[in-house]
């Protein structure tokens, strides 16, 4: 714990990362006292962090009983997809119109990082560079507040994306899509960039049936008990 930062925020960030990356699977019990002991905190910041996770539909809180990690909320994931697609289609269009001079180099560096991570089969580093690629687009378009909004609402969508990442050459397709988006923006080709964004962001939800079949515990309610 960084004692110079808000304790609730740090607990929230830690637990959210574990849930979004599927380290904590649906049904995992998050006991307040155990978490308080782990973080060396009182139960108050733990409670507040869990309430924030509940607001993002990542945990279910049963008052006076227990808190556990939720199954993936598909309605939440679909709504996050609509929001993200809408924002990034417009962002790509704007960037094609004014093409910030440093953007091409920044995207090229991130593509190189993703390529190296894929060659090492390092999906954690690949996923981080994936997020940075998109954040760079939002920053270049001067809509950073929208980046934070999209991230806050995308927890369940991100859980699906992380399940999908190791399957069916998904990581390679992400890299190819990023390359196409970067090339279209560099060329100022708005329609081409928007088509690449639409294709890129629609991949995971189009594979929902396959993901449900492979990971039934993640997309169905966890067993009661």
The pTM is what?
0.90
Residues 139-183: tens digit of each pLDDT = 999 999 999 999 999 999 999 999 999 987 899 999 999 999 999
* Residue 84, number of CB atoms within 10 A of its CB: 21
* Cα–Cα distance measured from residue 178 to residue 172, given in angstroms and rounded to the nearest whole number: 10
Confidence class for position 217, pLDDT limits 50, 70, 90: confident
Which of 27-36, 58-67, 105-114 is least confident? 58-67
* Cα–Cα distance measured from residue 97 to residue 90, given in angstroms and rounded to the nearest whole number: 11
Q: What pLDDT sits at residue 220?
A: 63
Is pLDDT of 221 > 90? no
47-50 contact pairs (CB < 8 A, 24+): 48/8, 48/12, 49/8, 49/9, 49/11, 49/12, 49/15, 50/15
Q: What pLDDT sits at residue 198?
A: 96
Confidence class for position 117, pLDDT limits 50, 70, 90: very high
Confidence class for position 213, pLDDT limits 50, 70, 90: confident
* Residue 36, number of CB atoms within 10 A of its CB: 17
Residue 66 pairs with which residues in a beta bridge?
Answer: 62
- Residue 209 or residue 91, greater confidence: 91
Q: What pLDDT sits at residue 183?
A: 97
Share of the chain above pLDDT 70, in %: 97
Cβ(177)–Cβ(130) under 8 Å?
Answer: no
Share of the chain above pLDDT 90, in %: 84
Confidence class for position 225, pLDDT limits 50, 70, 90: very low
Is pLDDT of 41 > 70? yes
Question: Half-sphere exposure of 16 toward its Cβ, with a 13 Å CA cutoff?
Answer: 22
Q: What pLDDT sits at residue 5?
A: 86
* Cα–Cα distance measured from residue 131 to residue 134, given in angstroms and rounded to the nearest whole number: 5
Which class for 88: exposed (0-12), middle (13-18), buried (19 or more C-beta within 10 A)?
A: buried
Which of 59-68, 116-125, 205-214 ranks highest by mean pLDDT? 116-125
């Amino acid at each position: 714990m960084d004692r110079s930062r808000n304790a609730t925020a740090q607990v929230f960030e830690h637990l959210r990362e574990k849930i979004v990356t599927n380290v904590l699977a649906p049904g995992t019990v998050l006991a307040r006292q155990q978490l308080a002991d782990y973080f060396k905190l009182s139960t108050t910041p733990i409670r507040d962090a869990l309430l924030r996770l509940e607001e993002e539909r990542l945990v279910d809180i049963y008052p006076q009983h227990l808190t556990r990690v939720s199954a993936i909320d598909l309605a939440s994931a679909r709504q996050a997809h609509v929001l993200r697609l809408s924002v990034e289609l417009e962002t790509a269009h704007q960037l094609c119109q004014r093409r910030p001079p440093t953007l091409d180099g920044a995207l090229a560096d991130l593509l190189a990082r993703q390529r190296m991570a894929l060659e090492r089969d390092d999906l954690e580093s690949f996923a981080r560079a994936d997020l940075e690629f998109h954040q760079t687009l939002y920053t270049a378009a001067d809509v950073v507040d929208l980046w934070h909004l999209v991230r806050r609402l995308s927890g369940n969508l991100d859980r699906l994306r992380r399940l999908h990442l190791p399957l069916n050459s998904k990581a390679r397709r992400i890299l190819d899509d990023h390359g196409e988006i970067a090339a279209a923006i560099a060329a100022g080709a708005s329609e081409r960039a928007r088509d690449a964004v639409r294709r890129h962001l629609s991949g995971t939800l189009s594979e929902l049936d396959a993901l449900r079949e492979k990971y039934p515990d993640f997309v169905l309610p966890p067993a009661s008990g």
